[in-house]
């Protein structure tokens, strides 16, 4: 009987170990990059079950404020995680700047010469320009800042097509429902888009740094896997993957 109980207890412990789940909310610019990152993570933690949702950083911010069940939040804008910390719904010690994003002018139409830079946007043959929605998408805010810096924000208003997030913005251009778009370089560097279209990298001084940060939420503070994932993203192999997808190295490392 004692041996039977030991066996049952062992099976229960093994069951718990093999059923570790982590719920991650991630910015849409990470949609392709995360596939590679998470495959590498699972090599180290084969028992981990990663439930990833990608979308607008601003929308996730609002959902986490309302106690959405996300345990790790990877934002394209550091201001959102910082605000969650200020509201005591995230662990301040877990805040980490994991990358600096970049934006590019991209087209999937051969006749559109994006190599001319932003000046092409005011030309008459450009009818639709896709950007992410500046109200809640950090990449949309960066696009707006770049267009304001180029002094053409007001002029192109009638041409704008707004995506809910940067991944949807890319789809507008990919399907040629927009002639050109301002999208995340990380999406363009994905193998899934190899050979599609052409892009022009927008100079970094045209927009505020896209300082992307992650944090363990209040929901994740009792899940050891959340901190294991944070440690992994900080690691050199994970940072190399981010660099391969066009992210710049963080300018600072927070605790």
> pLDDT per residue over 164-207, tens digit each?
999 999 999 999 999 999 999 999 999 999 889 999 999 999 99
- Give me the residue spans of the domains in the chain: 2-100+210-244, 101-206
What pLDDT was estimated at residue 251?
67
Q: How far, in Å, CA of 167 to CA of 172, rounded?
A: 9
Q: Who's near 11: CB < 8 A, 6+ residues apart?
A: none
Q: Could you tell me if 55 and 28 are in contact, meaning their C-beta atoms sit under 8 angstroms apart?
A: yes
Cα 35 off chain centre by: 12
Q: Could you tell me if 133 and 181 are in contact, meaning their C-beta atoms sit under 8 angstroms apart?
A: no
Q: Give residue-wise pLDDT tens across range 61-104.
A: 999 999 999 999 999 999 999 999 999 999 999 999 999 999 99
**CATH top-level class for 101-206?**
alpha beta
What pLDDT was estimated at residue 194?
85
SS3 for 198-252 is EEEECCHHHCCCEEEEEEEEHHHCCCHHHHHHHHHHHCHHHHHHHHHCCCECCCC
Q: Which tokens in the block code for residue 179?
A: 């002639």
Q: How far apart are the first and last CA of the chain?
A: 50
Which is nearest to 93 in space by CA: 1, 191, 192, 226? Answer: 226
Percent of the chain with pLDDT over 70: 91
User: Do 101-206 and 2-100+210-244 have the same topology in CATH?
Assistant: yes
Which is nearest to 53 in space by CA: 21, 82, 27, 84? Answer: 27
Q: Give residue-wise pLDDT tens across range 137-158.
A: 999 999 999 999 999 999 999 9
Check whether 10 has a pLDDT greater than 50: no
Q: pTM value?
A: 0.87
Helices 33-44 and 236-244, axial angle in degrees (round to 10): 160
Which is nearest to 30 in space by CA: 195, 245, 255, 251? Answer: 245
Q: Compute the C-alpha angle 193/59/65, nearest 5°.
A: 140
CATH domain 2-100+210-244 topology: D-Maltodextrin-Binding Protein; domain 2 (3.40.190)
């Amino acid at each position: 009987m004692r041996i039977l109980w030991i066996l049952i207890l062992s099976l229960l412990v093994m069951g718990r170990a093999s059923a570790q789940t982590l719920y991650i909310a991630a910015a849409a610019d990470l949609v392709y990059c995360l596939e590679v990152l998470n495959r590498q993570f699972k090599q180290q933690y084969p028992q981990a079950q990663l439930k990833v949702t990608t979308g607008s950083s601003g929308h996730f911010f609002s959902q986490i404020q309302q106690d959405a069940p996300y345990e790790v939040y990877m934002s394209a804008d550091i201001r959102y995680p910082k605000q969650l910390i200020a509201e005591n719904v995230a662990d301040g010690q877990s805040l980490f700047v994991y990358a600096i994003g970049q934006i590019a002018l991209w087209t999937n139409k051969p006749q559109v010469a994006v190599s001319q830079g932003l000046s092409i946007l005011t030309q008459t043959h450009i009818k639709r320009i896709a950007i992410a929605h500046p109200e809640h998408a950090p990449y949309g805010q960066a696009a707006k800042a770049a267009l304001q810096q180029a002094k053409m924000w007001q002029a192109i208003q009638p041409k704008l097509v707004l995506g809910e997030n940067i991944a949807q913005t890319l789809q507008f251009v990919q399907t040629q429902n927009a002639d050109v778009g301002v999208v995340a370089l990380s999406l363009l560097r994905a193998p899934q888009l190899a050979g599609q279209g052409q892009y022009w990298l927008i100079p970094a001084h045209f927009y505020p740094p896209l300082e992307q940060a992650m944090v363990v939420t209040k929901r994740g503070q009792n899940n050891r896997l959340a901190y294991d994932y944070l440690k992994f993203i900080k690691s050199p192999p994970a940072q190399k993957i981010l660099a391969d997808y066009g992210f710049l190295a963080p300018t600072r490392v927070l605790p």
